[in-house]
Structures are given as C-alpha cells and as structure tokens.
Amino acid sequence: MTGSYGQIGTELIEELRARYGGENVIATGRKKPPEILRKDGPYYRLDVLDNDHLHNMLVDYDIDIIIHNASVLSAVGEKNPQLAYRTNVEGAYNVLEAARILKMDQVMIPSSIAAFGPSTPKENTPNDVIMRPTTAYGVSKVFIELWGEYYVERYGVDFRSLRYPGIISSETLPGGGTTDYAVEIFYEALKNKEYTCFLAEDAMLPMMYMPDCIKSTIDLIEAKEDNLEHRSFNVTAMSFTPADIAAEIKKHIPDFEIHYEPDFRQKIAESWPRSLDDSAAREEWGWNPDYDLAAMTKDMLETLSKRLGLKY
Ligand SMILES: NC(=O)c1ccc[n+]([C@@H]2O[C@H](COP(=O)([O-])OP(=O)(O)OC[C@H]3O[C@@H](n4cnc5c(N)ncnc54)[C@H](O)[C@@H]3O)[C@@H](O)[C@H]2O)c1
C-alpha cells in the first residue's frame, strides 16, 4: 500500500494484516510511520513519484496487489494544484504502468465524490453520469478512473476504484479534505463542547464511517472479476449536514454548540453530490453499509472519549 500512514491507510493496513498475515502486507509512506503500523508487519519509505524505487520494491518484494492510497486531498489540492497534479496524476500513472509492465494481479486506487462537479445531478447521484469537476483534486480523480479503465480494456490490468464519500474515523486525523469537519467536530465536542464549522449549516454531503470504508475496500478487492460490470463505484452509507451531525452529538452532549464560518471549502462542497446512488456496488459485489449517522456518532464519541480520556 502506498500512502499507508494516512487517515484510511493506517486502519486499512491493520485489517489487511489481520486477515492476510502481517508479513504479507507492506506499508509504505514518506514519513516515519505511526506506532500502529510498526508493530505487525514491514514498512518502507516510498515516494510514489520515485518511479525506479516503486518498480524495485514491487519486484524485490514480489507484490501481487497494490492499493494506491498516496494522494493530495481536495482542500490541500486547491492550495497547491501543481502538487495535486504531480502526486495524484503522475503517481497513479506510475502505479498503473508498473501494474501493466509487471503483470500484477490487481490495482486498487480510490476515487472520490470529488470526481463529480457542479453539472452533475446532486441528489442520489448515479454511478454513470456527467463528471466535470471544478477542483484540481476532482480532475485528478477523473483522470485516475478513466486511465485505469483504459488499462482494463487495453492491457487487461485489473484496476478497481471506489468513489469514497467523506470518511469519518477516530484513529488518524484526515489529511486536508472538505469533509474533515465531520471528524474535527467530535474532538471539539469532547474537549470544548463547542465547534466552529468551515462549511455552512446546510452543506449536505455523502459520508461513511471508517469500518464501512474498510469493509467496502476489502469487499471490492475480493470481488470476483467476472461479476464486475463497472470498475469505478459509488459507495455511501449516509448523508448529513453540519446541522444534522451537531443535533446528533447534542443527544449525547446536550450543551454542545456549533457555529458556522464557511471558508473556501464551502465552494468545493457546493460542487459535490449531496447523496449518492450506490446500487451498482450493491448489485455487483454486495455492498451494504453497517453504520448510519446515529450509530456512527455513538461509536465515535465512545471510542474518542476513551482514547482521549474525556468523559461526556
Ligand atoms: N479521507 C477521505 O475522506 C477520502 C474521501 C474520498 C477519497 N479519499 C481517497 O482515499 C485515499 C486515501 O486517502 P486518505 O484520507 O488516507 O488521505 P491522507 O491525506 O490521510 O493520506 C494520504 C497519504 O499519502 C501520502 N503521500 C502524499 N504524497 C505522497 C507521495 N508522493 N508518495 C508517497 N506518499 C505520499 C501523505 O503523506 C499521506 O500520508 C486517497 O486516494 C484519497 O483521495 C479519501
């Protein structure tokens, strides 16, 4: 896995190692790995823009499947579009080329709801629909989906992709996206009983709790190739606004208060779907989420309060 030290990678690696054996799952990233990744299996430094190093690692360690999580996310991408281009487009190109040349078994590269744009229907957005994103991140995700699907047809590379919605998790902080507020709000609710949100109160977006994110990723990796009509899939578990999640948190912390100071991320959010139709994922590989807003909120508060030692 590339980008293993990020929000999704840290928790996905743990589950992959539990299932397939620690030695069989290699974590790679650019920095010193967090403790969680150092205990059960190998980790190496790898910058995905270092193509020679990437090829050498794939050959030396006899890698069959690459999960390419290294990415620059939406908000960071708007601050530095050139970095988003290099990391996301050139990084994915390197990975897909390596899979083609080395005849690897499978390549999983996440996409995002950011692959949709303002001209995409916003409610119950279909799997196959117009995609004209207006962020650097979104443009890079459309490239990844289309280049990956081209490699399926042209070279028989087994490329698969999930259009993750906003991912909420308790272990590793998010890496600079537009849905980060839905994680920050829990830390602030527990620490200060107050949160100032960088999106407007009615900014509805599709979301998913980390256990469902991990489940969807492993289910798609393990799906029989013959069953896949699509290669890039909408996946979702819930949709809510900042006002909705604040109301849900208030059920557990009655004196919690939310304030709104929308910044540049509000414009990004407005260009994305409000809810997703994930019927293709349900039909082709049996996708079915476990957590809705109420179940996720309860679990996040319980897990975080234990970890941070804060009662509520
Ligand atoms: N977290 C979400 O809400 C969300 C939503 C939709 C899609 N996604 C996608 O899921 C994937 C994983 O996202 P995440 O949330 O874990 O992101 P993250 O930002 O938390 O982690 C990405 C990791 O990639 C690393 N990275 C950046 N450039 C690199 C390079 N050149 N070489 C090697 N590593 C590099 C970063 O250091 C970081 O640790 C990404 O493709 C992202 O676009 C995430």
Helix (H) or strand (E) holding 267: helix 264-270
Which tokens go with 31? 């920095």
List domains and CATH numbers for the chain. Answer: 7-167+208-234 (3.40.50.720), 170-205+239-274+292-308 (3.90.25)
* pLDDT at residue 36 tops 90: no
Nearest CA among 253, 163, 170, 248 for reference residue 209 = 170
Confidence of residue 286 (pLDDT cuts 50, 70, 90): very high
Which of 50, 73, 296 gets mutated to test ligand 1 (max ligand atoms within 8 A of its CB)? 73
State the average pLDDT over residues 29-41: 85
Q: How far apart are CA 231 and CA 119, in angstroms?
A: 22
Q: Which residues line ligand 1 (CB under 6 A)?
A: 2-3, 5-9, 29-30, 47-49, 69-71, 73, 87, 91, 110, 112, 164, 166-167, 174-175, 177, 179
CA of 8 to the centre of ligand 1 (A): 7
Backbone angles phi, psi at 308, to 5 degrees: -90, -5
Protein residue closest via CA to atom 39 of ligand 1: 6
Cα within 13 Å of Cα(199), Cβ side: 30
Q: Is 147 exposed, middle or buried (0-12, 13-18, 19+ CB in 10 A)?
A: middle
- Active-site amino acid positions: 137
Strand partners, 159: 107
* pLDDT at residue 39 tops 90: no
- Label the pairing between strands 159-164 and 194-197: unpaired
Model confidence pTM above 0.95:
yes
Q: Which atom of ligand 1 is nearest to the CA of 46?
A: 33
Q: How far apart are CA 222 and CA 227, in angstroms?
A: 11
* pLDDT at residue 186 tops 90: yes
